[in-house]
Amino acid sequence: MGAHRGLRDGLLPDRGFTLNQEACAAVPSPRDSSLTTRTIPNAMAFEGRRQTAAGGIDPNASIGRREAAAEDVPSQQVFDSHSLMWDHGKGRELPVAAREADEAAAVIARYARRHGDTQRYSLLSPAALLATQERQRAIADLFVRLGWLDLTDIRLLEVGCGTGGNLLEFLRFGFKPEHLQGVELLPASVAQARLVLPASLRIMEGDAAGAAASSVPEASQDILYQATVFSSLLDAAFQQRLADTMWRWVRPGGGVLWYDFTFNNPRNPDVRGVPVERIRQLFPEGRLQVRRLTLAPPVARAVTRLHPTLYTLLNTCVWMRTHVLAWVAKPK
Ligand SMILES: C[S@@+](CC[C@H](N)C(=O)[O-])C[C@H]1O[C@@H](n2cnc3c(N)ncnc32)[C@H](O)[C@@H]1O
């Protein structure tokens, strides 16, 4: 298909996405920025700066494997591959199967504890709006680089689609509603998504790694999208199962589109930053390109109260960005 020419031919290196299968960056939706905002304290942004400066990473250069690891695995954020849990001090010793079964229920409980998200993530907040627009530009840039100038034939499935904000954005990009699908765990979010999205856009309710989306054929999707879902999954085995499911759904030549934050918030044990090295572990067969974006939300909220242009100004410092937009290409 002509639309897939860019993937076959590879991408040209530039300031954003690069060819070296590793590095790079992009923007959030209302809910992206919401999660972002409450997740990344100033302290972590400054931790990121220290490490980045020490590693000498050029904001505009592609990030090599070792450099990306240095930038994205801060000392507070240790992935414990032996216990298969993020080491955040809970010390639970459950068998893997029990932990995985637990995790979907635990996500529901964590979201039930959340309050005050709506206003924080509202597009009427300059910080949320600017972060959303930044991510949209980065995604558009990626599609162009992939050679997907006409999206009407491209099929995309979003895991953890929330209330459907991202799928609405993809409709505006030019996807056909019947080529878009979402899976979402929370019934209230599913109901809201179905209200705002066209009926021909299928929203499935339940655990994306479980039976909810078992009707999705293997290799049927060009793009599997996740935005700030993996950072809310604290069980590493469950993360891997969801990643494996997503990978099966992607056709060779397509890929996983990933937007999530990379730093922990010591004040919020319900989320966990996902370093670039972890994305690589989750999709070992993928070719990873990463682009860093999103001004640290607490900073963004503070400075946009003074003037919205300060978002753009401070965001030129790559170490002030807390998220990555990653494209994990599935080889043909
Ligand atoms: C932070 S929200 C992000 C929502 C949406 N992706 C966005 O960017 O606006 C994460 C969402 O993932 C959903 N989720 C988490 N684990 C899931 C799973 N295993 N299956 C389906 N949805 C899941 C949660 O219910 C929640 O709505």
Kindly give the distance from the C-alpha atom of residue 4 to the centroid of ligand 1, in angstroms, as a whole number: 28
Between CA 245 and CA 6 the distance in angstroms is 25
Specify the ligand 1 atom closest to the Cα of 108.
Answer: 25
Question: How large is the average pLDDT for residues 79-105?
Answer: 49
At 68 the pLDDT is 34
Give the range among 64-68, 133-137, 174-178 with minimum mean pLDDT: 64-68
In a domain, 116, yes or no: yes
The 10s digit of each residue's pLDDT in 195-247 is 999 999 999 999 999 988 899 999 999 999 999 999 999 999 999 999 999 99
Kindly give the distance from the C-alpha atom of residue 53 to the centroid of ligand 1, in angstroms, as a whole number: 33
**Percent of the chain residues past pLDDT 90, beyond the cut:** 61
Choose among 180, 163, 244, 259: nearest CA to 210: 244
In a domain, 258, yes or no: yes
C-alpha 308: how far from chain center:
24
Q: In what helix (H) or strand (E) does residue 159 lie, and over which residues does it extend?
A: strand 156-159
Confidence of residue 27 (pLDDT cuts 50, 70, 90): very low
Q: Which residue has the tokens 């995985």?
A: 100
CA angle 33/298/140 to nearest 5° reads: 35
At 96 the pLDDT is 52
Kindly give the distance from the C-alpha atom of residue 197 to the centroid of ligand 1, in angstroms, as a whole number: 17
Kindly give the distance from the C-alpha atom of residue 213 to the centroid of ligand 1, in angstroms, as a whole number: 14
The total domain count for the chain is: 1
In a domain, 12, yes or no: no
Look up residue 57 and give its two tokens.
Answer: 């990473």
Q: Which residue has the tokens 């029990």?
A: 98
Specify the ligand 1 atom closest to the Cα of 104.
Answer: 19
185 has a pLDDT exceeding 90: yes
Confidence of residue 100 (pLDDT cuts 50, 70, 90): low
In a domain, 14, yes or no: no
In a domain, 95, yes or no: yes
Ramachandran area for residue 84 (φ above 0: left; ψ -120 to 50: alpha; else beta): left
CATH of the domain at 125: 3.40.50.150
Domain ranges, residue 86: 2-7+19-329
Q: Residue of the nearest CA to atom 24 in ligand 1?
A: 160
The 10s digit of each residue's pLDDT in 143-171 is 999 999 999 999 999 999 999 999 999 99
Angle between helix 42-55 and helix 297-306 axes, rounded to 10 deg: 110
At 279 the pLDDT is 98
